[in-house]
Structure 1
Amino acid sequence: MVPIDELVGILDVTPEGEDRFVGQNYHAPNGRVFGGQVLAQSLAAAVKTVGQERPPHSFHGYFLRPGDPSVPIELAVERLRDGRSFSARRVQAVQHGKPILSMIASFQTPAPGLDHQAPMPEVPRPHELPSVRERLQEAGIGLSGLGPLLSTQPFELRHVQSPLFLAPGPEKVAEQAVWIRPTTPLPAGDLLHAVVLAYVSDYTVLEPTLRAHGLAWATPGMKTASLDHAMWFHRPVRFDDWMLFVEESPSASGARGLGLARVYALDGTLVATLGQEGMFRVPQ
């Protein structure tokens, strides 16, 4: 199965009673469910109780416990409000009888109004940047073990700065930009594209905190975890091509780091803004 098709199937949660759904788990190579999956499935469950006429405009979620990849996720939706223009839903993602994520999402019927946006910064276009495979080859890292893993990824990432997968960046700066696109086209449907964007929003937003302190994901002994996540959808989402994530970390303290990101379509349209706080415990 094509990786993006498998992911879309995972994010299409299954009804299991009134306002209750079940989500299966995507690949979990580190032994725990990817936080973006739980965010996206929770949003997908809420979407199914609202309908196509009111797309999501924001959600706020707290990660409460690590997800267990060996069991499905139960998703219970509570209808908080259905007004003339807005709807609100609370979603509890549950495993082993305990919540692993608690989210509130809000939906709005499209309406005209004030319109402005922060411009997309001038950065190299994705075709001007090396792929992850090319970055690894440039670093002299063999692909014998990583090749199959790279070929099964549903998304392609191209960092404007050097990636932080295995080694720190050359400069300690609290900002970066990353281009991301699906490896194959997504099915039609704006709501599906918003759900998939929610999945991807957990990929790199915490990296500016690592970059600011000369750290990489592979730093020995470092422990990280997502604590909470918020996202605002400004305009309709079409995730058919590259999107630019312009990311920064305005603060880190108390073993926590905050990441913010603006998400732009290839034509410069500001599609979404997101924020996430993560735990960072680094050996002293």
Structure 2
Amino acid sequence: MSSYVGIDTELLRTFVAIADTGGFTRAAEAVNRTQSAVSMQMKRLEEEVLERALFERDGRQVRLTPEGQVLLGYARRILKLHGEVLTTLREPHMVGSVRIGTPDDYVMRFLPGILSRFAQAYPLVQVEVHCDSSFQLLQRSDLDLSIITREPGKEIGQLLRQEHVVWAEAIGFAPHEQNPLPLAMFNADCFCRSWACNALDSLERPYRIAYTSPSLSAIMAVVSAGLAITAQLQSLIPPDMRILGEAEGLPGMPMASIVLLRNPHSQNPVTECLAEHIAEGFKL
């Protein structure tokens, strides 16, 4: 029996993404993972699985070694066959629709990779995505699955991920020095907004809600322009922003728990398969 270590298809998928995009940062965006997670995956592939160097690094750019070029051809063929097997065996049994609800926060960061992988596995399943605040999603009974934010200790459903909520502003600007402090936040029923306001009130730090929007991209555009600071999950903070803290006179913020709720009246194999994809997609 062979003693070789098997190659995880997710490692191959990330490897192909790096080859196609020319770098770890852009590949991380393509596979919906953090850059550090991508680096760890490739370290494992090079050192533990293949015991071969696959990349030549030149600053931020990477090139494939001769061994990397050989693997690339095999990786593309393996991933193509993998997709064909899943489609052939699963497609006849997986037909239907799923309605999921999620705050706007998670749409760009997590859902693209999740929905892409789900669509490859179950091409005949229709997925409807409804964006709303966690508070509003808790009131809805028409959704099969809901992704919401909760405080630690108040989790309900399946815990997907826990993260720090952090303050952030655009690099090169200092709106945190203004008095009152200008904030760019989601609308009034957002957990992060409530936490931010309560934390500032506890310090008696004057602030004003300068900009509100239900859209994370709109909030980040305002912050990127240097017009305000915001409080968001740490994984949502882009590279052109810096995280603020006690050194800037800002209070600590609580951890946030991201949980998945299942509608007990609409459980079926299609819904459960998407739930499994969502749980896997929120791990990194």
What TM-score do the two structures reach when normalised by structure 1? 0.25
Which gives a bigger RCO, structure 1 or 2 (Cα 8 Å, sep 6+)? 2
What TM-score do the two structures reach when normalised by structure 2? 0.25
Q: Which has the higher strand share?
A: 1
